[in-house]
A = this chain, B = another copy of it.
Amino acid sequence: MGSIIKRIAILGSTGSIGRQTLDVVRSFPDRFRVVGLAAGRNTDLLRRQLAEFQPKLVSLATEAELLAGDYQLLTLEEIASHPEVDLVVVATSGKAGLPPTLSAIRAGKSIALANKEVLVMAGEIVTTEAERHRAQILPLDSEHSAIWQCLRGEEGRKIARLILTASGGPFRNRPPVELDSVDIEEALKHPTWQMGRKVTIDSATLMNKGMEVIEAHWLFGVPFGNIEVVIHPESIVHSFVEFIDGSVKAQLSPPDMHLPIQYALCYPERLPNRRLPRLDFPKIGTLTFEAPDLEKFPCLKLALEAGQRGGTYPAVLAAADEIAVELFLSHRIGFPDIAKVVENTLNHHQGISHPTLEDILAADLWARECAAGLVSRGNSWQ
């Protein structure tokens, strides 16, 4: 069978998802060609990636000397919409992923999306534009990949419920009163997944899962009332879809991001890869499920509420959370304060319905200032 080579640009190539995307590309040298790489500050790793993959299109956030080579230095948006790119992997973190994602959509590219903020901040605009330009958004998150796999061959309007699984993070069994005193190292120890620092803290607060519910709402067009979260500490079942007849499908695999990345990159094909780990059910023995504790993990509740309110609220949620996590990681606030900063910022926000991109970016800036201001003004916000 002849295979078509997909030309890939990876935005955020030196981060966790970017590096694992390059692992997948290495597994299939006949399937993919890396034509663009973009990174933030990790210049050393980017240099090595340029030497190995020889892309023609490069973007770097900081001014730094790169290897001499036959490439063009471009902006993220220019790479994302470049005619020689078929698939854009958006593996940046934060709002930086939003403009290049919209560029890629308007150029009709396929987008493999790992950046949470894109859909959390601008889900309505992004999905509307993607429909208009027939650009396909392929989720890279394990939960959304699971739902997407369960929906193969099914009609979206036959969905009764989406049930996103959550590991519960490192503090699942910790008594609520002890959360006041947890330190950064504990919060960064995720029980099942190896990820970046920001998303690991978001997993510990369950903010990450709340954002994933918002993403699922936009990706699959399912109302918030029909999306649930269930705690599943083993991280083997990556999510469930219940159909209108009561039948439920699940996607399962060992917790390894290479699989959802490979699935999105190869889609609609499934390709063999013996390097990916396999499930052994008798060895696994037990899969457990429990309801999330919204009192103990208020970030999840805040995210679900912000999603339901819509408009600029999810952008404010994401921005306030980013500031709050930074403050926690720099020892400025305690773990439970993350939720308090986000809640207070949301309470101060005057939302806009059906916002433009400018409205969203303004709400983002406002929320950052508000969240930082709350903390710098002292304890009155707690």
Contacts and interface: CB of A to CB of B under 8 A. Distances in A.
A282 B288 CA distance: 8
Contact of A287 (B155, B158, B254, B286): B286
B152 A154 contact: yes
B251 A247 contact: yes
Interface string A252-289: 11100001001100100011110011110110111111
B285 A288 contact: yes
Contacts of A242: 278-279
Nearest to A145: B247
Contacts of A287: 286-289
A251 B252 contact: no
B282 A249 contact: no
**Most chain-B CB neighbours within 10 Å: which of A243, A247, A271?**
A247
Given A244-B271, A271-B244, A149 B290 contact: no
Contacts of A240: 252, 281
A319 interface: no
A150 interface: yes
Nearest to A288: B286
Contact of A285 (B158, B163, B262, B290): B290
Given A245-B276, A247-B253, A251-B249, A291 B282 contact: yes
A286 B232 CA distance: 10
Copies in the complex: 2
A166 to B, nearest CB: 12
Task: Place the interface of chain A in its size category.
Answer: 35 or more
A188 interface: no
A230 interface: yes
**Most chain-B CB neighbours within 10 Å: which of A246, A249, A253?**
A246
B247 A263 contact: yes
A249 B247 contact: no
A184 interface: no
B279 A290 contact: no
B246 A273 contact: yes
A195 interface: no
A372 interface: no
B279 A259 contact: no
A246 B278 contact: yes
Interface string A224-254: 0000001110000100101111111111111
**Most chain-B CB neighbours within 10 Å: which of A154, A232, A254?**
A154
A237 B237 CA distance: 12
Given A245-B271, A247-B263, A250-B252, A289 B278 contact: no
A378 interface: no
The list of the 6 closest CB pairs from A to B, nearest first, reads A153-B153, A152-B153, A281-B289, A282-B291, A246-B276, A244-B272
Given A152-B154, A244-B271, 18 more contacts: A149-B249, A150-B249, A153-B153, A160-B272, A230-B282, A232-B281, A242-B278, A245-B262, A245-B272, A246-B253, A246-B278, A247-B253, A248-B251, A249-B252, A250-B250, A282-B289, A284-B289, A285-B290
11 contacts: A152-B152, A232-B281, A242-B279, A244-B271, A245-B273, A246-B273, A250-B251, A250-B252, A284-B289, A287-B287, A287-B288
